[in-house]
Structures are given as C-alpha cells and as structure tokens.
Amino acid sequence: MRQWAKVWGTEESERQFSFPCDLLLEQVDEVYYRGVEIQAAPAVVFRWLCQLRVAPYSYDWIDNFGRKSPGVLTPGLEHLEVGQIVMTIFKLVAFEMNRHLTIQSRQDVTIGRWFGEIAVSYLIVPGKDDGCRLVVKLCVRNPEGFRGFLMSRLLPYGDWVMMRKQLLTLKRLAEREDTSFIQ
C-alpha cells in the first residue's frame, strides 16, 4: 500500500523522466509521483496550474482555510515570475510555459518548516489526440527528529489524498475549459 501511495497514477517510464525539481535538494529522503491523463491541450492545463498561485484545488476546508478554490480562470495569474507564492507554503522556483511548474516549500513560514523541505515539479507531457499527461514529482527532505519520523510515515498517504484530489480537480476544470475535445 505504501508503494502504491508513492507512485499513484504514474507509469514506470514516467518515473524515469528528468524533472526540474531533481536539481533543488541535495539530499532527498523520499520521492513521490502522481499522474493523471487530461483530455485538454497542454496550454489549457498549464493555465490551470498557474491558478495554484491563489488556491490549492484540493480539499479547501483543510488546506485553503475553508475558502473555495476558484472555478474559473483568474486573469493575470498566467504571468509568472520566480519567487511568487504558490499555495501559501510554496514559492515558484522555475517554469516553462505549457511544460512545467516547479515549486519549493517556503522555510520562512511555520507550516512550511513543519513538513521539511519539499520540491515539486508539475510536468505536462503531450499525449495522444492533443491531450496530455500531468505527471508530478515530489522530492522530500524530512525534518530532523520525531517530526521527521512522523512525516516519513504519514506524508505518503496524506499527500496522496490531497494531491489526488488536486489533480482530479485540475483535470475536471481543464477538460471543461477545453471544449475542443467534445465530440
């Protein structure tokens, strides 16, 4: 079960990709992968990834202080700059339009330090019929001591629950937005 929670929705070949987050942490304790197929153009999916600047698109009552994540694209969020805040506890460290969004946990906020150091790349892989795959890699360096022990046991499952919801929500919104796939 633990291994399944660490690689949800991905293929072995996808886990062999080079991800931008691979360059961010020197020492990594854990690596998790998440993936979902989306019947929408990569540009539409990327535009929804830009929305992570204002909301997590997961379980809002848990990780968005009860505020609902926007169900429509917010104008201007596609204008990215390194250093921008993403989902409150991350900062944008790299991006390539319509290809990837890479973030790293902020160590200047308490909740960011609680989870240790985390680097995440959301990679858009073009697929068949103009759709794509959204493949995510998380590199984790656990905090020291008991917190690190807890994170190593709980984070694979907790992240799986939250990120699964996030990816399925982004999938639904992107597919709704890109009507070119409707037959």
Asked if residues 87 and 75 have their Cβ atoms less than 8 Å apart, the reply is no
Residue labelled with tokens 């597919």: 175
The full 3-state SS of 11-75, as one line of letters, equals CHHHHCCCCHHHHCCCCCCEEEEEEEEECCCHHHHHHHHHHHHCCCCCCHHHHCCCCCCCCCCCC
What tens digit of pLDDT does each residue of 139-181 get?
999 878 877 677 777 667 777 788 899 999 999 999 998 665 5
First CA to last CA across the chain, in angstroms?
Answer: 38
57: left (phi over 0), alpha (psi -120 to 50) or beta: left
What tens digit of pLDDT does each residue of 61-108 get?
555 455 677 788 999 999 999 999 998 889 999 999 999 999 999 878
Residues with Cβ within 8 Å of 110's Cβ and at least 6 positions away in sequence, in order, are: none
Q: Which residue would you say has higher pLDDT here, 122 or 57?
A: 122
Q: Does residue 173 sit in helix, strand or coil? A: helix
Q: Does residue 132 sit in helix, strand or coil? A: strand
- Please give the mean pLDDT across all residues of the chain: 86
Q: Which CATH superfamily is domain 2-178 in?
A: START domain (3.30.530.20)
Average pLDDT over residues 106-135: 84
